[in-house]
Amino acid sequence: MSKKLSIAISGRSYDIELEEQFCTFFQKQLQEDFGSHQIGDAKTLLQAYVKKAHRLFVLEEEIAKLNSKLDNLT
């Protein structure tokens, strides 16, 4: 089941549809990153995106290391 979410960026509203469980997670992340569903400007959005991309990069490196360790066990 999908759920609609409205996000305002630089005063312009965007409606997106997300899977319900992901939408709940995404709303929580918006609150943590921006304090609301409103993003003041493109610079703030870009900074948040870079922060999340870096976190993803670190997590993927950690997963690769764990996979390597698991491969060495077998």
Residues 20-52 pLDDT 10s: 999 999 999 999 888 888 888 889 899 999 999
Domain count, the chain: 1
* Gap between the Cα atoms of 74 and 71, Å rounded: 6
Q: What percent of the chain clears pLDDT 90, i.e. is strictly above it? A: 70
Query: 12 φ, ψ to 5°?
Result: -110, 130
Residue 24 sits in which domain range? 2-73
Across the chain, what does the average pLDDT equal? 92
* Gap between the Cα atoms of 29 and 39, Å rounded: 13
pTM of this structure? 0.73
